[in-house]
Structures are given as structure tokens and as C-alpha cells.
Amino acid sequence: MSRWPTAALLLLNAVTANTMAAQEVGQSPKTLQAGLIAEGTAIRLDGALDEPAWQDGDVASGFRQQEPEEGAPASESTRIRVLYDHENLYVGVWAFDSRPDRIIGRQLERDAQLGLSRFGPSGGDDAIELILDTFHDRRNAYYFGTNPQGIQVDGLITDESHEPDLDWDGVWDVRARVSNDGWTAEFAIPLRTLRFPANAGQQTWGFNVQRVVARKNEQSLWTAWSRENEGLNRVSRAGELGGLDSLRRGLDLSVKPYVLTAVGQDYDERPSGSADFEPDVGFDAKLGLASGLVLDFTVNTDFAQVEADEEQIDLSRFSLFFPEKREFFLENAGIFEFGAPQFYGPPPLLLFFSRRIGLHQTEFARPQTVPIIAGARLTGRAGGQTIGLLNVTTGEEESANAPLTNFAVARVKRDVGQRSYVGALVTHRLEESGADNVVAGIDGNFWLSGPMVLEGFYARTWDSDPGGDDDTWQLTLDYTGDWIGWQVNHLEIGEELEPGIGFVLRRDIARSSGSLRFTPRPPIRGLRKIDIRNNFEYVVYADSRKVLDRSWEISLAPELDSGDEADFELGYQFQRLDEAFELTRLDTAPVIVPEGDYEDWRFEGRINTSGTRPLAAEVSGSVQGFWGGDRWELGGELSFSSPHIGFDLGYSHNDIDVPGGAFTTDLVQGRLKLAVNTRLFGNALLQYNSQTGAFSANLRVDFIHRPGSDLFIVFNERRDIEDGRWNPDSRAFIVKLTYLRWF
């Protein structure tokens, strides 16, 4: 009998919280006044916040929970003050805690995962995250975050993107320290790092702060705390930072040269194993042209410090998709996004995919580097427009059959109302031989209400080779709420579509898909919520409308207050093959899947423990019908995290029996992370892929010898394992030094 009053009380709290959320949306935004530091007064960046300037002035407080109790006051008090002078913006944070001995801060590496997530914390540390909407356009913002160790995490939020683009690395600093009443953090952000209206006198910026108390799996915000499509990424729901007067960035020019020394062995090109010494130099430069635009240059670009691709097991009939990892292409990548990206798995279509520049994908998914001679990029805001222009020239590379090629991309998005936009994209690929490819498209994103958005695009390609002239379009209606969410989508891709700087998973399709999600929060002790999802997909030929695929799946995913999660999924799939394909290659013969119709059922499950624990684990498994046979899959990952040492060990095994043959695959990935402090850390990635018979090692040390400047020491090795012998394939030792200079 006692459960019913408890359930009624919880329901009443939920209704009250939703009402408060609705009231908050209708109110004027919260405001915080920044204080100007007196002339001659200095801020010592040590995280102590003991200077007199920090003791007075306006305070942001009154944080409310988004998780676990929506709208309830945060269980631990947080206070924020903002100061500025002619060079820097300072943010002081007092994160009070009733149990300072249980504060969690295990990460030291830059851009480590913190807690920004639409549906709750996703990192394992206590965290403070803040956004600055410097143009107050209510859609774009800078993102800064830290933990009790004082790590630097920064990025860009573009058009209220679900997650910030952490590949933007600004020049700024932060210090943090734990005390007897909680922890404090002190941010120092140079004004020249930010873009804002120049010579505007008094300015008002969008501003919001989020705090994560990891041990409670609690997420609270200064404003925009409602679960109904709000959160830190909802720039339009942020508060306001006022009191900023006569801000100046000065000359906005920086140059970042590099010197590199590499000693490498390529046993394919030089079977004797003789070493090749390759010194190199180059530079990047950044110039602010207007208050919201920045021009980037790169000359003789080198990405030797970039981490190796993670190995994948290929059991599909489509191309593998490897994400971009190179800094020049990742920064501001959200501006150039156009197509149909996916949260999980390879995207069906991207009209601009930067890995087509400077990388040549080989038959066995091992990319070959193509030299980048020079490149330029113009990005930023100009009035109500978001602009992105990119031009890169790559050199000739005979081993990759890559000619001298120029790549050009132009992207513009025009604001419509408070949160919507219409945009256009044009790409052009021109080879030395005269072969060229052009893509042109328009897209739009329209917020019909707080949680509902309508978006779509239309594009066409033209290619100088026969074929390659075709079109594609997509329309999506998405509703995202706390208790319920749904999406309907239709995508068509022509048979001859050929985006010269893009990625296409499969052509000549018309795909209709949709999903429906319920997220109840039952009044059960220890249970946070349950995600219940139902997805479907129906694929036909674009021209003939003949059925190709149809699938349906339902999943159940409970999450506990502790952060532990599980996911159980049941699915059905019909696939029609009009052409046979090679599933894999064994020593004796290839395993061929013949043409025909295939119907299969699949059941899979996953259980993972919370990342707030020093030792976390994930176990997954599935059983399914597979191309007329069976497939069993088992996988797991074990992770350990501490301030100075951590590791991730993952394993995936497939046991497959199809009419064309039986075989197994194994993928082992191990990552060791070492950190001396927030300026010196190392990372070792070891991988073994039984399908390709390859072992690879990528070891990196990064020393940030001054803000924006790095010393990288990298060792790469790859071996082919055959008949029990580990035959060397390639090896390289690289030292790269960069130095950032502001003018």
C-alpha cells in the first residue's frame, strides 16, 4: 500500500517540474553581469579564487537539476562569477560539495569526455561546462569545460548541434583545486581566441553553465534545465552575460610553423628493410578578417601526429567508413556538414567527406597518404549568415594512382527566425588531366515548435566521365521530448550519383525509415529510466521500386541511478541480393554469398557499468540468422581510469557458418593512457585484426610546451601475420615540433 503514495508523489513532482519548465521558457532569460577588473589588478591563475576581484560582483547561482529530478534545486550549490580586462575573460566557479572526499576527477588529457549529453551525463568525472554565445545569435556558441584536475576541454556548438565539435582547440587556460568544501575552477580565455562583434560598445552574450556531480549521476544547469529538448547545447535557451564594454581583440593573426623528422621503413617498397630519412617543414596560419570570420592557411600540411584508424571487421557488402581525425579538416567541420549523417554505423550519404582529400583508400581499407601542397579555409559568421569556404591542392602520388588534384567547397547557411536556416553547398574536384566533378545542393532546417524540427535537402552531381549525373534528396520530421520521441525519414539516391568529394554507402535506393521512442521513469527505487524504441526501414530501388530490404527492431534499455545501463534488442530483416558478393577471403577460397532472398531474425544484448567507477566493463553478444546461415558474436571491453594511468581493452569475436563456408574473426584492441599532468601525456594503441591478418601499433607522446604549441613523438608499426610469422610491413619513428606565435 505504501508504494502508491510514493508513486503519486513522484508523479506530482514530475508534473510540477514540467510546469516550472514551461514557465521558465516563457520568462525573460537569466542574466549575469561581468565585472571589469580595475587597472593594475592582476588575476593569478591558480584555481584558488582568492583575489579581491573575485569576492564582489554579480553571481550566477540557483542551479536546477535536469537529471535525476527535473526542476528540483541542485543537491550541491554552485556559484559563478565572470570578470574581464582588456586581454582576457575570466570565469570563476565555486562548486561546493558536502562530500569533498567523493569528488571524482580521473582524467588529465585534453578534450577528454565530460558530461555533455542531451539525455544525461556521459562522462565519468565531476565537471563544469560552460558556453559563450558571443554573437548572441542563439544558435552557435563556444564550449569550455574542466574537471577537478583542471583539464582543458573545448569545442564549438554549431546550429545547436547535439554534441560540441571538440576538434576546435582554442588558446586558453584553466586551473582547478579541491578544498574542504568542494572544488573551484578558474578559467582564463584570451579575447583574441573568441570571435565577437567588434567596436560594439556594450555587448550581451549568451551564457550558460552545466555542472555534473558524477557519483550521483546528477546534471544541473543555470538555465535550460528542462528535459524537453533543452540542455547546454540549446543555445537559444541560454541566459545572458552582460556588462561587457569596449572589448578589443587587437591584431588577430597567428602563425604555427612545424618541423618534423621521420625515419621509416616500408617493406613493400624496399624489401631489404632499409630506412628512409624524411625531414620536413610547413606551417599553418590564422587571420581574423572580420568580427566573425577567420581565414586559415596551411602549407605542406603533415598529420604525422594523428592517431591511427581503429581496425574494423568487414562483414557487409558495403564500403567501410572511417571517421576523419585530421585537425585541419575537423575544425569547424559542422559548418560543412551536408547529407544524411548517422549516430551509429556508416552514413548512407555525405556530399562532403574530407577523407577524400589527402587520403587514398586502398582495397584492404588501408589509406595511403597523398601530399597536401597547400590549403585555405574561410569560416565563421557574417551578419545572419554562416559561411564556409575550403580550397585544398594535393600533389601527385604514383603509388596511390593519385594525380595533382584541386578540391573546392563552398557552404553558406542563412538564419531564418530564431533557430532555423536555409543553406546551399557546392563542391568541385578538378584533376590535372581535366577530369572534374561538381556537386550542388540546397538544404533547410525548420523548427516547427520547441521539440519538433523539419529538415531536408536536394542535391545533384555532374561528372566529366560518362555517368555521374544524378540527384538525391531527403526529408525528415523529428520530435524529441523527454517521455516520447519519434522520427520519420525518406531518402532517395540516384543510380548515377557521384559526389567527387563525398561518401555514398549504396546507390539507386529509396529508403523510408522511422522510429518511435518511449522513455518512462517508473517509481522503482534505483531505476532512472527505460528507453523503449521501435525502428523500421523499407528500401526499394529508386527507379523500379522493387523491394531490396525491409527491417524492424524493438529495443529495451534501462538505466539505473548509478549510471549502469543495459540494452536488449530483437530484430527482423529481409534482404534481396541481385548480385553475389564476397563476404570474406579464406586461405583456400573466397566465401561467396549468392544472389537470392534472405530473411533473418536477430537478438542482441549489452550490459555496461557506469563510467564513474575506476574499473568499468561492457559485455555484449548477439545471435542471428546470417545470409542463409548463422552468426554468433561476443564482445567486451574493460576500462580502468585514474589521473595518471588508464587503459581500455576490447575484444570482439564472430563465429559464422554460411553455405559458402564457415569461419571466425577476432578483433583485439588495447589502449594504454599515461598522463604526467595536463600538459604531458602519452597514448598507445595496439590492434590485431584476424580478418586482415594485421597487427598494428601506434604510440604517441604529446607535450604541450606552451599554449597552442606541441612536441609530438610518434612510433608506428604494422605487421602481417601469416602462418604464425609476424612479417614486418611498415615502421616509422616521427618527431614533430609546433610553435604558435601571436602577432
pLDDT, tens digit, 9 for 90 and up, residues 132-183: 999 999 989 999 999 999 999 999 998 888 788 887 888 999 999 999 999 9
Asked whether residue 121 carries a pLDDT value surpassing 80, the answer given is no
Domains of the chain: 3-245 (2.60.40.1190)
Across the range 311-317, mean pLDDT stands at 89
Asked whether residue 252 carries a pLDDT value surpassing 90, the answer given is no
Across the range 682-706, mean pLDDT stands at 94
Residues 6+ apart with CB under 8 A from 538: 511, 512, 513, 547, 549, 550
| Residue 711 grid cell | 612536441
| Among 129, 133, 143, 141, residue whose Cα is nearest residue 240 | 133
| Among 609, 623, 702, residue whose Cα is nearest residue 656 | 623
| Among 31, 32, 53, 58, residue whose Cα is nearest residue 186 | 53
Asked whether residue 388 carries a pLDDT value surpassing 70, the answer given is yes
Residues 6+ apart with CB under 8 A from 249: 191, 192, 194, 196, 198, 288
| Among 549, 535, 467, 465, residue whose Cα is nearest residue 505 | 549
What integer pLDDT is reported at residue 4 of this predicted model? Answer: 31
Query: Considering the chain, what is the average pLDDT of its residues?
Result: 89
User: Among 320-329, 480-489, 734-743, which stretch is predicted with the lowest mean pLDDT?
Assistant: 320-329
pLDDT band at residue 718, thresholds of 50, 70 and 90? very high
Asked whether residue 334 carries a pLDDT value surpassing 80, the answer given is yes
pLDDT band at residue 304, thresholds of 50, 70 and 90? confident
Asked whether residue 531 carries a pLDDT value surpassing 70, the answer given is yes
What pTM, to 2 d.p., does this model score?
0.86
Asked whether residue 597 carries a pLDDT value surpassing 90, the answer given is yes
Query: Pick the residue with more confidence: 439 or 302?
Result: 439
Across the range 607-636, mean pLDDT stands at 95
Among residues of the chain, what percentage have pLDDT more than 90?
68
What is the Cα–Cα distance from 531 to 482, expressed in whole angstroms? 10
Strands (DSSP E) contained in 432-526 are 436-447, 452-463, 470-480, 484-493, 503-504, 509-518
What integer pLDDT is reported at residue 118 of this predicted model? Answer: 38
What is the Cα–Cα distance from 178 to 97, expressed in whole angstroms? 10
Question: What string of DSSP letters covers 654-689?
Answer: EEEEETTEEEEEEEEEEEEEEESSSSEEEEEEEEEE
User: Among 159-168, 333-342, 503-512, 631-640, which stretch is predicted with the lowest mean pLDDT?
Assistant: 159-168
User: Among 263-277, 309-323, 607-621, which stretch is predicted with the lowest mean pLDDT?
Assistant: 263-277
Asked whether residue 229 carries a pLDDT value surpassing 80, the answer given is no
Beta bridge partners of residue 427, listed in sequence order: 409, 439
pLDDT band at residue 266, thresholds of 50, 70 and 90? confident
What integer pLDDT is reported at residue 459 of this predicted model? Answer: 97
Across the range 302-320, mean pLDDT stands at 86
What integer pLDDT is reported at residue 321 of this predicted model? Answer: 86
What integer pLDDT is reported at residue 25 of this predicted model? Answer: 43
Question: What string of DSSP letters covers 405-444?
Answer: EEEEEEEEEEEETTTEEEEEEEEEEEETTS-EEEEEEEEE
Across the range 333-355, mean pLDDT stands at 88
Asked whether residue 677 carries a pLDDT value surpassing 70, the answer given is yes
User: Among 266-275, 391-400, 589-598, 689-698, which stretch is predicted with the lowest mean pLDDT?
Assistant: 266-275
Look up residue 358 and give its DSSP letter: S
What integer pLDDT is reported at residue 361 of this predicted model? Answer: 64
In 3-state terms, the chain is what percent helix, strand and coil (to 5)? Answer: 5, 55, 40
Asked whether residue 291 carries a pLDDT value surpassing 80, the answer given is no
What integer pLDDT is reported at residue 115 of this predicted model? Answer: 64
The answer to whether the CB of 313 falls within 8 A of the CB of 303 is no
Cα–Cα separations (whole angstroms), residue 661 to 131, 330, 634, 723: 55, 41, 20, 20
What integer pLDDT is reported at residue 273 of this predicted model? Answer: 67
The answer to whether the CB of 464 falls within 8 A of the CB of 436 is yes
Across the range 551-566, mean pLDDT stands at 95
What integer pLDDT is reported at residue 369 of this predicted model? Answer: 83
Helix (H, G, I), strand (E, B) or coil at 579: coil
What integer pLDDT is reported at residue 198 of this predicted model? Answer: 73
Most confident range, picked from 9-13, 22-26, 198-202, 667-671: 667-671
What integer pLDDT is reported at residue 384 of this predicted model? Answer: 86
What is the Cα–Cα distance from 195 to 533, expressed in whole angstroms? 41
Phi, psi of 501 (to 5 degrees): -125, 35
